[in-house]
A = this chain, B = another copy of it.
Amino acid sequence: MSGPKKKSEGRANQYAYPGLDRVIHERARLSVLTSLARYPKGLRFGDLKELCGLTDGNLSRHMQVLQEAGFVEVEKSFEHNRPQTTCRLTPEGTRRYVEYLAVLEQVIRDAATAVKEGRGRVANVKP
């Protein structure tokens, strides 16, 4: 077994990532936010559903979580006499999504280092 030899070798909470906000990190919600970031003026519910590969029920449920967090807003209107639901990011949602992405980039960097250094450790082990 390897692992940190001294308390100081492995930093406490080194891989804890509190910045990976669970509201955003959940896979379906990450899809929703990425889609809405791409179309900041808003997406029809049906188009959003398609981009994310979600069912009506699933998208509704995740939109509710995101609305409660203040990250998205929903507008009901009529288009050619048919009810239309438009979903879009709020300024707060945009800000938090961009912050989240910075943490995700850190995870990728840490992971790349972990895999590289981990492989180095295995290679250095004497049989």
Report A's interface with B, CB cutoff 8 A: 1-4, 10-18, 20, 22, 25, 27, 30-32, 34-35, 37-44, 47, 50-54, 86, 97-98, 101, 104-105, 107-108, 110-115, 117-119, 121-122, 125
Rounded to whole angstroms, the CA-CA distance of A108 and B42 in the bound complex is 21
Q: A30-B17, A41-B3 are in contact. Are A12 and B110 (CB under 8 A)?
A: no
The quantity of this chain's copies bound in the complex is 2
Chain B residues with CB under 8 A of A111: 34, 37, 97, 101, 104
Is the pair A2, B39 in contact by a Cβ cutoff of 8 Å? yes
Chain B residues with CB under 8 A of A51: 4, 10-16
Is the pair A10, B50 in contact by a Cβ cutoff of 8 Å? yes
